[in-house]
C-alpha cells in the first residue's frame, strides 16, 4: 500500500473516530435477541473456549496499547489474532442492524422468525470463531479498540465474552490527541471525550440494571501508578490464574505510541525504552485559563462523574 493510499485510509479512519455521533447516547436502540441466537452464537464461537477479553478504550490516546501490553503477558491469553491490532466491531452495530432489516425485506415470510437484533450475536460469534482459529485451545483471545461507541450493546454482540472498559482523564486525552493529530481542534476533541464519557457512564448503568457479568471499568492512571496491582485485579476480575502471571516482566514493558516521547505530530508506534519516572499525566495543568474554562463547560461534569475531580476548582 503506497503512502497516498495510507493517508486516505487514515483520514477515513479518524474522521469516523472523531465525527461519528451515533451510538454515544442513551437513546441507543436495543432490540430483542432470541435464546436460539444466543445458543447458536455459543456453538459458533466454540463452546470449549473461555471468554475473550475486549479492551474498549474511551477514545484514541486512552492507553489501550499499554493495557494490552500488560494483559498479554499472561500465558493464558492470545493477543490480537491474525495481527488485528484493533477490532472495530461495536461501531458496526447500526450497520449490522441495517443488514438484518435488509434480510427481512428480502422475504417477508421471514418476519417473526428472528428477533430484532439476532444478527448481532450471530455475527459477533462468527468473528470470535475467526479469532479463535489460530489460538491454542487453552488460551483466551485478547482484543482491543479505542472506542466506546455502542458500548452498551457489547453483550448483545458478544454475550459470551468479557469487556474491560478503559477510561482516562479527558484533559490528558485531549492534550495527547492534539499533539498526535494536529489538524483537529480543542473543542472537537473535548466534545468527543464528553460524548464518550457519557457513553461509558450509560453503559455501566445499563450493565448493572441488566445484571450483566464479565465487565470492569478501570482507569489508565491506576494502571500506570501501580501496574502490579492492576494485573492482579485483572486476573481476579476475568478469572485468570494470578500465579501464572510473570510480574517480573512488567518493568520491561516499553512505551509504544507516546505523544510526548515522539516528535509532535509524528507518533510512529515504535517500542521506546521507558524513561525513568515516565508518567504521562497532568500535562493539561499547563493549559492557559481559557482552555481550562472551555473544557469545564464542555466536559467538566463528565470529569466529575468519572471520578477525576470533585468539583470545577482546578
CB atoms under 10 Å from CB of 184, counted, come to 17
Q: Which domains does the chain have, with CATH numbers?
A: 13-19+26-305 (3.40.50.300)
| Low-confidence residues in the chain, pLDDT < 50 | 261, 269
pTM confidence score: 0.87
- In angstroms, rounded to a whole number, what is the distance separating the alpha carbons of residues 23 and 280? 29
- In angstroms, rounded to a whole number, what is the distance separating the alpha carbons of residues 170 and 3? 32
Beta-bridge partners for 166: 57, 218
261, 275 Cβ separation under 8 angstroms: yes
- pLDDT of res. 254: 80
- pLDDT of res. 261: 45
93, 150 Cβ separation under 8 angstroms: yes
- pLDDT of res. 21: 74
Instruction: Report the half-sphere exposure of 185 (CA within 13 A, side-chain side).
Output: 3
DSSP 162: E
- In angstroms, rounded to a whole number, what is the distance separating the alpha carbons of residues 15 and 17? 5
pLDDT in tens, 273-294: 655 565 678 899 999 999 999 9
24, 196 Cβ separation under 8 angstroms: yes
- pLDDT of res. 14: 55
pLDDT in tens, 30-72: 689 999 999 999 999 998 999 999 999 999 999 999 999 999 9
Amino acid at each position: 500500500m503506497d503512502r497516498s493510499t495510507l493517508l486516505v485510509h487514515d483520514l477515513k479512519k479518524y474522521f469516523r473516530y472523531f465525527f461519528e455521533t451515533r451510538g454515544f447516547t442513551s437513546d441507543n436502540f436495543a432490540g430483542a435477541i432470541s435464546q436460539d441466537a444466543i445458543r447458536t452464537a455459543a456453538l459458533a464461537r466454540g463452546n470449549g473456549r473461555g471468554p475473550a477479553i475486549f479492551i474498549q478504550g474511551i477514545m484514541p490516546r486512552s492507553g489501550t496499547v499499554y493495557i494490552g501490553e500488560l494483559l498479554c503477558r499472561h500465558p493464558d491469553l492470545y493477543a490480537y489474532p491474525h495481527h488485528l491490532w484493533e477490532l472495530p466491531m461495536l461501531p458496526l452495530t447500526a450497520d449490522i442492524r441495517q443488514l438484518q432489516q435488509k434480510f427481512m425485506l428480502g422475504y417477508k415470510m421471514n418476519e417473526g422468525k428472528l428477533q430484532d437484533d439476532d444478527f448481532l450475536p450471530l455475527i459477533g460469534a462468527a468473528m470470535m470463531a475467526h479469532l479463535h482459529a489460530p489460538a491454542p485451545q487453552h488460551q483466551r483471545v485478547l482484543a482491543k479498540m479505542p472506542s466506546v461507541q455502542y458500548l452498551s450493546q457489547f453483550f448483545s454482540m458478544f454475550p459470551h465474552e468479557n469487556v474491560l472498559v478503559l477510561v482516562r482523564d479527558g484533559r490528558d486525552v485531549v492534550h495527547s490527541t492534539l499533539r498526535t493529530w494536529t489538524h483537529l481542534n480543542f473543542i472537537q476533541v473535548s466534545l468527543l471525550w464528553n460524548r464518550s464519557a457519557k457513553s461509558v457512564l450509560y453503559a455501566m448503568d445499563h450493565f448493572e440494571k441488566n445484571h450483566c457479568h464479565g465487565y470492569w471499568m478501570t482507569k489508565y492512571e491506576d494502571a500506570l501508578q501501580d501496574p502490579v496491582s492492576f494485573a492482579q485485579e485483572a486476573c481476579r476480575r476475568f478469572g485468570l490464574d494470578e500465579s501464572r502471571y510473570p510480574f517480573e516482566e512488567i518493568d520491561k514493558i516499553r512505551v509504544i505510541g507516546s505523544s510526548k516521547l515522539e516528535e509532535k505530530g509524528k507518533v510512529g508506534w515504535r517500542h521506546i525504552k521507558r524513561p525513568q519516572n515516565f508518567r504521562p499525566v497532568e500535562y493539561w495543568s499547563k493549559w492557559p485559563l481559557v482552555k481550562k474554562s472551555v473544557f469545564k463547560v464542555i466536559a467538566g461534569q463528565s470529569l466529575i462523574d468519572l471520578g477525576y475531580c470533585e468539583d470545577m476548582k482546578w
